[in-house]
Amino acid sequence: MSRTVNVVRMQLVNKQTFGWVPLAILVGALAVTLAIWAMVPDGGALYSGGAQAPFWYFAVIGVQALTLTFPFSQAMSVTRREFYLGTLLTAALAAAVLTVVFLVGGFVEQATDGWGMNGYFFTFPWIWDAGAPVAAAFYFVLSMLSFVAGFTGATLYKRFGAFWLVVVSVGLVLVLIAAAWLVTRAGAWSDVMGWLLTSGVGGLTAVLAGITVVVALVAFPLLRRAVP
């Protein structure tokens, strides 16, 4: 366990990757959003999708956590299992910090009537209507899913090269398109939307958590054979 914790320390040597850059992206997106809202005439509640920016960046963090640190870890005689567990633990810590920031931002918005402009950057009703704990779980799982997707993609690249990374990526896109086509042919979009409305953000979070676990489990066998 101590060696796994050492991997966490190694990943956090460059604090910008896991800490300052995601926060800078979030603060920048919020500042731009508030400036735009200030120019919009009063006309009801305002919402922004800018809050998703740091979640997308977590995929970049996943790539960097492997490509920048994995070769160094092998030179330091860290086992691949220790590197894998320590890296996931580092990501979980970063995701927890981002989740806290989102919760605090949501509470500030609620206390200030949307920054005094009836604008909501953190508190989308569909997410927050289920309560702050469920919203926190959603933010945490979304961060981890983005991270493990980037980490697994980088591991696939290290193991098989760029060609197979492109093949797998295109294959996944085709699978999603095929699934959408089947739902459309079956006329089942109303059922899908009904499930989302019935299950709410809690049900979606559970599905995303399951996908996150599967993707994370795929990464480890690839990491065991990856070339530093």
What digits encode the pLDDT tens for the residues 105-154? 999 998 998 888 888 999 888 888 888 999 999 999 999 999 999 999 99
Structural domain including 57 reads 2-225
Q: What is the 3-state secondary structure (H, E, C) of the chain?
A: CHHHHHHHHHHCCCHHHHHHHHHHHHHHHHHHHHHHHHCCCCCCCEECCHHHHHHHHHHHHHHHHHHCCHHHHHHCCCCHHHHHHHHHHHHHHHHHHHHHHHHHHHHHHHHCCHHHHHEECCCCHHHHCCCHHHHHHHHHHHHHHHHHHHHHHHHHHHHHCHHHHHHHHHHHHHHHHHHHHHHHHCCCHHHHHHHHHHHHHHHHHHHHHHHHHHHHHHHHHHHHHCCC
Looking at the structure of the chain, the number of domains it has is 1
pLDDT at 1: 65
